[in-house]
Each structure stands twice: as C-alpha cells, then as structure tokens.
Chain A
Amino acid sequence: AQKVTQAQTEISVVEKEDVTLDCVYETRDTTYYLFWYKQPPSGELVFLIRRNSFDEQNEISGRYSWNFQKSTSSFNFTITASQVVDSAVYFCALSETSYNFNKFYFGSGTKLNVKP
C-alpha cells in the first residue's frame, strides 16, 4: 500500500488561476511529519514546508497555503494566482516515528503546468 498518494498526475492551469494539489497519507504512527517539495525541470528538490502531526493549523506563505486535516489524512497544497515559474513537479512526503523520522516516503508527484 502506498503511504503517500498524489492522485493528480498532471494538472494544467492558465496563469493567475488558483490550483490545489492533493496529498493523502497513511500511517499508524501518532507522531509524524509531512513535507512538500518542488522539483523544477533542473531536477533539484526544493523544500517548501515541514509540518508535524500535532500542528493542524493551516499555513500561508505568500501565494502558497497548506491545509492539513488529520481526520481525512490529507495535506493539500494550494497555489493562489499561479505563475509560469510555478511549473514543476510537486512531491508530498511523510516521515514517521517508527523510522526515527529519518526515512522519507514520497508520493508519485503532481506535474503542474502553468500556461501564460
């Protein structure tokens, strides 16, 4: 079974549209961390956010916001007023207590295409 599921393989939007990337995770641990990374065409992994399981407060950082809901095991990522530079593959990841949080499980990624 997948520990992190990103059901949206690819999304295309027009610049200035809002877009939400879905992430659903599965864990038996009560303490865990969730992450989002951006992977531009150049290939590196760019860290966006780290959230622990006890902090369900939603977070906003500029045009980015994250909605963490333990009840549905989801950690969704919204980009407001998307820009062409947001085009990339976005990965959600999970780390768990049972591996001392040091092993990341990544989802399969969502490729976001933002068209001008």
Chain B
Amino acid sequence: EPEVTQTPSHQVTQMGQEVILRCVPISNHLYFYWYRQILGQKVEFLVSFYNNEISEKSEIFDDQFSVERPDGSNFTLKIRSTKLEDSAMYFCASSVKQENYGYTFGSGTRLTVV
C-alpha cells in the first residue's frame, strides 16, 4: 500500500536553529499538508499546499514557518528559528484531490528543541 514517508523520524535541534522536515507524498497525490501535535495534545492543522502554493494556513503557521515542494517528490516544512514550544510531532499528509480522497498521513517526525 502506498505510503507517505517522513524523514527523519526524530530530530533534536538547538533553540534558534533552522530545521527542515522532509516528506515524500504518495506519487499521484496533488494536495499536501502539514499538521502538528504537541505532546499529549490534539493534532492541529498547519497548512495545505496545492499547485505550488499555499491554499490554506492556520494561525499557528506564522512567518517562522514555510513550505516548499523543491522537486517532483519532496514536500518540506522549514522552521526558521526554532523555539522550545516548537517541540512536537509533525505529520505530513497528502491526498489525490479535493474531498480528501485517499488522505494519508505519514508516520511523523518528532522534533525536540533544546
């Protein structure tokens, strides 16, 4: 079964450093997403991306965050200057089209900011 692949599974970074979380969506999917889950809390939507631009973003997704699809396969989330409160599990997801058809989550990257 096709999977959304996220790397690394766990990343530790120092406060103030830039970090890039990587995702490889399912190959025929056109819509891409990032979600965040602070430890012990619910999963929260960050951003959706379609046709090489952001289609929707939450209030959490401030100027510290950016997303990019640098090539035909990767989808990245960059946090420019990490803060302690950015420590969380970050999930990438992708779907074939609108109406969340085939919406699939990756296994997540656990980011720890120290």
Contact = CB atoms under 8 A, between A and B. Distances in A.
Interface of A: 33, 37, 42-45, 47, 50, 91, 93, 95, 99-109
Interface in B31-57: 31, 33, 35, 41-45, 48, 55-56
Interface size class for chain B?
Answer: 20 to 34
B105 to A, nearest CB: 4
Interface stretch (B64-72, B76-84, B95-103): B95-103
20 contacts: A33-B99, A42-B107, A43-B107, A45-B105, A47-B105, A50-B103, A91-B42, A91-B43, A101-B100, A102-B33, A103-B33, A103-B48, A104-B35, A104-B45, A104-B100, A104-B103, A106-B42, A107-B42, A108-B41, A108-B42
Given A91-B43, A102-B55, A44 B48 contact: no
Contact of A101 (B44, B89, B99, B108): B99
